[in-house]
Amino acid sequence: MKNNLIFTLLLTLILLSSCSTDFELEAEWKDIPIVYSFLSVQDTAHYVRVEKAFLEPGGNALEIAKIPDSIYYQDITVELVNLTSGKSFIMERVDGNEEGYPKEDGLFATEPNVLYKLRAEDAGLEEGDEVRVVVNRGGIDEPAFAETRILGEIETNRFNPPERINRTRYNAPLNIAWTPDEYARIFDIRFFFNYLERLPGETEFSPKSAAWVVNRSVFAPENDGGLITYEASWESFYQALATQIPVVEGAQRVIEGMSLQVTGAGDELYQFVRVSRANTGITSAQSIPTYTNVEGGLGIVTSRYSVLRQGLVFADEALDSLQTGIYTRNLNFQ
């Protein structure tokens, strides 16, 4: 829930897909629930965001978006149903700002930040469970709902790269491998480069980190739970460091190591990204298709699982590339 990017993108696509050269300036009012949630067995609490998208006749969408009552429901219940166990739970309405999940600034009102919460210990979700999120709106007979399957762990026993990284030459490939849950369809791969830094005038080293986002959307539509491999470029790694770590004369920096994070998500997010990409670029049509797995509304309800492999260390040759390479030689790594 920390990242509102997907939700914002969903709303953007909804607005864009409604554009046409033939339109009514004041169309009939329509209530459209927008439902967004990434469920995970790793979380201590599960959250669902529910908002509404409509434009009142004669209204201004940009102004309405800043009014909380225009984007949040006041008379709904959000229910999480475990179709595998047969148990159901009514989720608690909370303010995400007070839960530690502030809403990013943008077009939409940020206070309050309405979410619906269920503690993980109460839900008892397990990998493989099929779940349904149901939104019951007062005065509307048909609820909006979405279903997904809870993802299991990403195994690390066959992880690449190895713990000791010997070569990081620009023209050498970096082979990454992992074994995911069989229902994961899309993956985010990133490295966290950890180092200590002491700037001129400082007496102590401070811990720092830079992120190398390898690929946010690695597709695996035929995944059956077997080994998945991806080839990246070490040159991109050094370029990422050069854009994030500033050149400071007299700075002292010491590498501590790297961590590799792989996050998998379900078929719902894969389909959303695939459909969104299918109609972009110079040859795209005016109307952008929108994928949703919410019946009676719009949005994405899916599952995710993330694993972090720590303790990757640089051997002498790899460290030399960091110290003397064209992208990072001015960063003063020792």
Query: Where is pLDDT greater, at 29 or 38?
Result: 38
Q: Over pLDDT 70: what percentage of the chain?
A: 78
Q: Above 50 in pLDDT, residue 195?
A: yes
What's the Rg (C-alpha) of the chain? 23
Q: Above 70 in pLDDT, residue 298?
A: yes
* Separation of alpha carbons 254 and 89, rounded Å: 50
- Specify the amino acid at residue 21: T
Q: Give the per-residue pLDDT at 167.
A: 75
Q: Give the per-residue pLDDT at 70.
A: 60
pLDDT digit string (tens) for 272-295?
999 888 765 554 554 555 789 999
DSSP track, 82-100: ETTT--EEEPEEEEHHHHT
Q: Give the per-residue pLDDT at 106.
A: 44
Q: Above 70 in pLDDT, residue 125?
A: yes
Q: Above 50 in pLDDT, residue 168?
A: yes
pLDDT digit string (tens) for 38-82?
999 999 999 999 988 755 554 444 444 444 456 788 889 999 999
Closest listed residue to residue 2, CA positions, set 34, 41, 49: 49
The residue ranges of DSSP E strands in 199-290, in sequence order, are 206-219, 228-233, 252-265
* Separation of alpha carbons 194 and 226, rounded Å: 30
Q: Which residue has the tokens 């709904």?
A: 76
| Coil/strand/helix, residue 177 | strand
In this structure, of 61-75, 90-104, 291-305, the range with the lowest mean pLDDT score is 61-75
Closest listed residue to residue 134, CA positions, set 147, 150, 153, 119: 147
Arithmetic mean of pLDDT over the chain: 83
